[in-house]
Each structure stands twice: as structure tokens, then as C-alpha cells.
Amino acid sequence: MSEKTFTRQEVAKHCSLNSLWIIYNDDVFDVTNFVVEHPGGEEVLKGNGGKDATQEFDDVGHSASAISKMQSLRIGRIEGAKPREEKKKEIKKTTTTSAPKQQESGGLGLLKIPLIIIVLAIAAYFFMGDQQ
């Protein structure tokens, strides 16, 4: 099945709140009905309307749910763009119940530095005293 393609000039015509399209990684998204829901406000979307917003989108660091939502707004691809590469979803394993690993107790810990300074001072005292 061939997907719908658009020229950059066609996308550029859709830069108003009545018809708002953006380009991200050569995919075209119709965000017209998403403007009200957008957590960053309508100004952000309107400011990138009709343009390639790849850099701006990536700079913000959107969540996985935002990226997922974005896919539902995809309407096609830029004409002449390389074919899409389907990325395999990577599942990140995280644990919410583990506490941060604490440093083992015991040993000298922070006392090492003052002890080293004291030992060096005593050694210097005796060394300098022997030379006089």
C-alpha cells in the first residue's frame, strides 16, 4: 500500500489554526485538532505550522506517550523522502521499588583525607627536624 505524499510547499500552506500541519523526520502530521490538547500551548504548534519541526520537537525531549500520540496524527510523508525505517520498540526495564544504592558503612570513608594529611604532616615534621 502506497502512503500519501506531500511536497514541502503543500505542507507550508497549512500554517493556520484552521489547518495546521507540521513535518517531523519527513513525516507529515495534521495537528489541527490537537492544538487545544497540546501541553505546550497553541503558540508552539502554530509557530511550527507548515514547517519542519524536527529540531524543535527533539530539543524539547517529549515523553513516550507524546511520541505515541503523535503517530496517530500522521497523515503522510514528504515527497522524495527516504522510506520510513520502522524502529523496533525497546522496552526499558525499570524498577520503582528499589531504593538508591547506599555506600557501604564501615571503613574510614571521609576520614581518609584528614588522616592522610596528618600522616604527611608528621612525616614532614620528622624529616625537616632531622635535616637541621
In terms of pLDDT, which residue wins out, 30 or 113?
30
Residue 115 C-beta-side C-alpha neighbours within 13 Å: 6
Average pLDDT over residues 75-79: 94
Give the predicted TM-score (pTM) of the model.
Answer: 0.61
The answer to whether residue 56 scores a pLDDT higher than 60 is yes
**Angstrom distance (rounded) from CA 67 to CA 61:** 10
Q: What digits encode the pLDDT tens for the residues 2-11?
A: 789 999 999 9
**Angstrom distance (rounded) from CA 20 to CA 48:** 9
DSSP three-state, residue 24: strand
The answer to whether residue 131 scores a pLDDT higher than 50 is yes
In terms of pLDDT, which residue wins out, 114 or 56?
56
The predicted structure's pLDDT at residue 22: 95
The predicted structure's pLDDT at residue 9: 96
Average pLDDT over residues 82-88: 69
In terms of pLDDT, which residue wins out, 98 or 86?
86
The predicted structure's pLDDT at residue 91: 47
The most confident of the ranges 32-36, 37-41, 85-89, 107-111 is 32-36
Using only C-alpha atoms, what is the Rg of the chain?
A: 30
DSSP three-state, residue 78: strand
